[in-house]
Amino acid sequence: MTIADRWLLPDGMDEILPPQATRMEELRRTLLDLYDRWGYDLVMPPPVEFLDSLLTGTGTDLDLQTFKLTDQLTGRMMGASADVTPQVARMDAHSLKRQGPVRLCYCTTVLRAQADKHQGGRSPMQVGVELFGHAGLDADVEVLRLALSSLAAAGARETHLALSHIAIYRELVRGIGWSEDIERALFDAIERKAYVVIDELVAANVADPKLARMLSELPRLHGGAEILEHARLALADAPEAVREALDQLVRLHRGVVAEHPEVSFYFDLAELRGYQYHTGMVFAAYVPGYGQALSKGGRYDDTGKAFGRARPATGFSMDLKQLATLAEREPPTNGIWAPNREDAALNDTINRLRARGERVIQALPDQRTGPGAHRCNRHLVLQDGEWRTEPLD
């Protein structure tokens, strides 16, 4: 191994340097303050948990993304957190045990076994909110509005919101009794929008002509808000739960537009992201210039059941590293340069300035860099026996 190889980071792991680290910290504080103003309490989940609690009720996708290790104290298998949401659901159901709606927020680094195919990282800094204990649509509207407000606070000037509802597909296929292979094949074809394959699978495996027509039509139901009215007609023979899901999408659209009229909407009624996990509305928010959603979320009412306390739940999460690139800028040049000198009055002046929130950099002996390298636009000078702040030329 060469000396250079010793400093290589594992694939997908990154270090955050100035000024990006400063931008991320500023944004972290901005978002957590925003969530506090909306009534969300901060929680800090542990970075590692026993697998039997970490992966309870989460499906296979999270299992594949989880780094696993053996606890040297107990011999039990543990996992590094790859997604904070299940941990926060456990905290609500098992640790807090509060009654009524509970609003929680978080910001912490997670670790993933596989790099995100769009972002390329395996250690995102996950920030988000979860709202437990309310099954009504008002909770979903609140979460959607807060997600959009988060993107705006991060610097997004144009946002496109993709909305869907897991119950539409789930209720259409409920009770059909397909083999696992057929169900997986149709699921995969719908995700790829492979219309020919979908039509062939449905024709060969669905005897009810009305259901067959609706399943073939479902992947084609995508577009702007006008697609919801078209869906009412196309899915008129669907179970009541499907019609209720469509009504919820209409009301969600109205509720968000009232607060964020600048956001453009896209509906894909066959969006199956998080199918094993979500139970109701799902959404993804996109910003021009980024190939992936910057905010994802939805309703997941069944997660708390695995911890002995079923609770309605809805929320969203984002990667702070990605958000911090929305408004990249150099940090301000606003520091004060202080000379290296043994002087009690100078030390008192520096301490007073720092207590007022000023950034003061005191030179070190034989230092070769000057004020400009340390983002200083002022310096301390001794005038008439007093240390005063003066602009730098």
Pick out the residues of the known binding site for L-histidine.
Answer: 83-85, 112, 126, 130, 273
- Residue 75 dihedral angles phi and psi, to the nearest 5°: 80, 0
Secondary structure of the chain in the HEC alphabet? Answer: CCHHHHCCCCCCCCCCCCCHHHHHHHHHHHHHHHHHHCCCEECCCCCEEEHHHHCCCCCHHHHHHCCEEECCCCCCEEEECCCHHHHHHHHHHHHHCCCCCEEEEEEEECCCCCCCCCCCCCCCEEEEEEEECCCCHHHHHHHHHHHHHHHHHHCCCCCEEEEEEHHHHHHHHCCCCCCHHHHHHHHHHHHHCCHHHHHHHHHHHCCCHHHHHHHHHHHHCEECCHHHHHHHHHCCCCCHHHHHHHHHHHHHHHHHHHHCCCCEEEEECCCCCCCCCCCCEEEEEECCCCCCCCEEEEECCCHHHHHCCCCCEEEEEEEHHHHCCCCCCCCCCCEEEECCCCCHHHHHHHHHHHHCCCCEEECCCCCCCCHHHHCEEEEEEEECCEEEEEECC
Residue 160 to residue 264: CA distance in whole angstroms: 5
Residue identified by tokens 């969530």 is: 35
Identify whether the C-beta of residue 218 lies closer than 8 Å to the C-beta of residue 269: yes
Which residues, including other chains, have CB under 8 Å from residue 188's CB and lie 6 or more apart?
none
Q: How far is CA 201 from CA 188, 215, 221, 222, in A?
A: 11, 10, 18, 21
Identify whether the C-beta of residue 281 lies closer than 8 Å to the C-beta of residue 253: no
Binding-site annotation, residues:
83-85, 112, 126, 130, 273
